[in-house]
Structure 1
Amino acid sequence: MTKPAIIHEDQDSFFYNLRFMLIVCVLAGNALEPIITRFAGAEALFLWIYTFHMPLFVWVTGYFARHTLKGASGRNVLIQIALQYLLFQSLYAIMDFTVFHTPHMRLSFFAPYLLLWFLASHFCWRLLLRLTLSWKPLYRLLVAVMLGVCAGYLPMDGFWLSFSRTFVFLPFFVIGYDYGASIRSRLRSGWGRRIAATLSAALLGWIGLGAFNISPGWLLGSMTYAELGHHEWFAGIYRLGIYALEIGSGALFLAWVPSLTSRLTDLGRRTLYVFLLHGFLVRLAVWSGVYNYIETSLYIPVIVSIALLFAITLAHPAVRHAFRPLIEPDISRVHFNRQGGLKRPASWFR
């Protein structure tokens, strides 16, 4: 009776550990982006991160969606995501207008502000899965891949409501939801894990040598094929190739992730706060002009270390206590059960 519970706990610990490592990659990638055109090392690290971090982040999100997708809890999560999007889209716009004095600034809820595309896409991923719960997992995955490939052909701006990213990364959400647990159970240990970790590091070295000749736009997933300069009828094949690269790089990176419950696991439970708040810090850093003083690639490890420090700080329980009313508001007042009683809200990051 106790063995399944132990396995489930270890499995969730692995995903929490992975989630915090990925949010550190998100911070590091965003912090490195202002200097990738100046230093080859920063560009290599940036591209390496983008070969796996967002597909895996979506995969992890799909895995945890298993707990809060259906019924009233699923509806509450959708409401919370919508509120988070509306609130932080407004806050970032206000910051641009009042602090950074961004020219021609106007608030639009149809063009997600930087990292907020993930909220818009997450909302859509959950809706799409709720609509296809009666399907067999394999059919759901095949349709998701087909949509991800076909989205690049549409003659529209891929940034609009995160349309392109929603469909490009949809297969990873489906894989996380339907196959996340089984994939985790099949991960190797011992020599297999060491080899995978070595190959992951080798991929970084290969990119650093300049052998990676792929536009970052393919990894961002936010652009159509035409926007990427490919008007060929077979451009969708390139998307399948990118999927193969992301799956391979992501699988190799998993070798770095510990399985045991630890301090890392605890930090992984509060990555929502890191995700939503770190954009303010990155924007302030760029606005302050601190990047103008970075004149050598020796600062790259410093930037990554600061990103790690910010992630640990923003995942601290004190930050959650201070910002929880803003980030995870109690929506029980607007929801009632069939007996007329109030419902408790469900957090999409448990």
Structure 2
Amino acid sequence: MLHARNERAPLPPARPEKPTAKTPPTSAPPSVREGGAPGAKQRDPFFDNAKYLTILLVGMGHAWQPLQDDSRTVEALYLAVYAFHMPAFIVISGYLSRTFTGRPHQIRRLITGIAVPYLVFETLYTLFMRWADNPDREFSLQRPGFALWFLVALFVWRMTAPFWHRLRWPVPVALAVGLCASVTESISGDFNLMRVLQYLPFFVLGLQLRPRHFEMLKDRRLRLLSVPLLLATAVFSYWAVPRMNQAWLLHDRPAAEMGVPSWVGAVMYLALFGCALVLTAAFLTLVPRRHMWFTALGAGTLYAYLLHVYPIKLSREFDWYDMAWVDHPASRVVVTLLAVVMMTALCSGPVQRAFRFVMEPKMSWFFREDPVEQARARSGAHGGGEQPDRGQDGRERERRRETVSAGR
């Protein structure tokens, strides 16, 4: 009896280990992306899909612009698209910039990926317009050409990202900045500052979003509501065509230039901001979350954004829209399809490889060596070669450290 009392109870059987965030449920190592090589950084297909579909809307909107005078339907579609396509693109840009803290390699990417392309393409655009329209057109790097304002805005927004991370209420503050800009007549036209400030809240909102917010958009009920909502927006836009100045949607001028009192301009700005958020959410609920045939094209949207400027301007400067075949309802469908094909081609891998020397130059000669990166390289060399890839867990830990250092 005593012996039985002192005998230890047998240990319970080991429980099977549950997959956690630190233990991937699959046998594949976390550093291997689907269809990729070990160590490749994993991309979320949802955001690449969203970027591709948004850049299609950009190209379609620019292609529709000359058709508006002859078709109320086209103008209604133009209004509906312009109500949310740039806000959606900017929110995604802000979300993808949320780890920007001003570290040396991030500053290099900012300069080589945004500042240098702006200088190059603004110069090319000036030369192009001299050839196509005005031989006396002056160089004015402070006056962004057609669509190039977005590079200026993205540079400014990303540089200020650490500042927004430090604030307790970043989105209301950014919204107040945009609201004040919308009623201020004295803001300079240099670098399209009016647009930079009025679109700022969308970028700051993107900075504050987290993966769980996008997970909420998976709800099937929201997806079912999004289709009638977008259709209702198109119907409302058709009604609004003769009643609303579409310049409100461009966010490039103050209320006084729109011929209304400041308080009306402020109310309109807030209303458009709310509408843009609702429509952006509706649009994102419809974006596929799995790998699609166009997912890889999402990495080339900035190429398409900058390069589509020239076909669009050629079509206007050389009066392609005055050709007889364009003045027909079916031709507007053809123009739309041509815009889709053009933007898709400009996002493609061959185009990216051909223009990478301009869009993503290395420019190692331009920057000082980062002591931290040099130390890491030396430690990797002393450790017997290349350091092992940290995988998804390591990248997540680094992202958390960046977030903490940014004051979150």
Structure 1 residues 212, 127: closer, same or farther in 2, change over 3 A?
farther
2:129 maps to 1:96: yes
Name whichever of 26-35 and 126-135 sits farther off.
Answer: 126-135
- Equivalent residue in structure 2 for 1:2, among 20, 24, 47: 24
* Displacement after TM superposition at 1:59 (Å): 0.4
Separation of aligned partners in 2, 1:176 and 1:307: 28
Matched to 2:358, the amino acid is: L
1:203 equivalent in structure 2: 233
RMSD: 2.5
1:55 equivalent in structure 2: 87
Query: Does the 8 A contact of 1:63 with 1:181 survive in 2?
Result: no
Query: Does the 8 A contact of 1:162 with 1:222 survive in 2?
Result: yes
* Displacement after TM superposition at 1:263 (Å): 2.1
1:37 equivalent in structure 2: 69
1:290 equivalent in structure 2: 320
TM-score in terms of structure 1 length: 0.89
1:21 equivalent in structure 2: 53
Task: Provide, for residues 108-153 of structure 1, a one-character-per-residue CA deviation record: whole Å limited to 9, x for no partner.
Answer: 11111010000011111112212333223xx111110000100022
Following superposition of structure 1 onto structure 2, how do residues 147-296 of structure 1 map, counting pairs within 5 Å?
147-156=177-186, 159-210=189-240, 213-233=243-263, 235-293=265-323, 294-296=326-328
Separation of aligned partners in 1, 2:261 and 2:220: 46
Query: Does the 8 A contact of 2:91 with 2:203 survive in 1?
Result: yes
- Equivalent residue in structure 1 for 2:370, among 312, 333, 337: 337
Unaligned runs of 5+ in 1: 345-350
Larger Rg: 2
1:74 equivalent in structure 2: 106
Unaligned runs of 5+ in 2: 1-22, 34-40, 378-408
Task: Provide, for residues 70-119 of structure 1, a one-character-per-residue CA deviation record: whole Å limited to 9, x for no partner.
Answer: 31132113212111111111000000112x13265111111110100000
How many aligned residue pairs are there? Answer: 339
Structure 1 residues 145, 339: closer, same or farther in 2, change over 3 A?
closer
Separation of aligned partners in 1, 2:194 and 2:79: 20
SS of structure 2 residue aligned to 1:260 = coil
Name the % identity.
27
Task: Provide, for residues 178-235 of structure 1, a one-character-per-residue CA deviation record: whole Å limited to 9, x for no partner.
Answer: 1152320111432431221222122112322447833211111111111111233453
* Displacement after TM superposition at 1:170 (Å): 0.9
Matched to 1:27, the amino acid is: G
Query: Does the 8 A contact of 1:97 with 1:105 survive in 2?
Result: yes
Separation of aligned partners in 1, 2:373 and 2:287: 45
SS of structure 1 residue aligned to 2:61 = helix
1:347 equivalent in structure 2: none
Separation of aligned partners in 1, 2:99 and 2:25: 20
* Displacement after TM superposition at 1:11 (Å): 8.3
Structure 1 residues 82, 10: closer, same or farther in 2, change over 3 A?
closer
Matched to 1:114, the amino acid is: F
* Displacement after TM superposition at 1:330 (Å): 0.9
Separation of aligned partners in 1, 2:342 and 2:60: 10
* Displacement after TM superposition at 1:19 (Å): 0.5
Query: Does the 8 A contact of 1:13 with 1:260 survive in 2?
Result: yes
- Equivalent residue in structure 1 for 2:167, among 128, 132, 135: 135
Structure 1 residues 210, 226: closer, same or farther in 2, change over 3 A?
closer
* Displacement after TM superposition at 1:302 (Å): 1.0
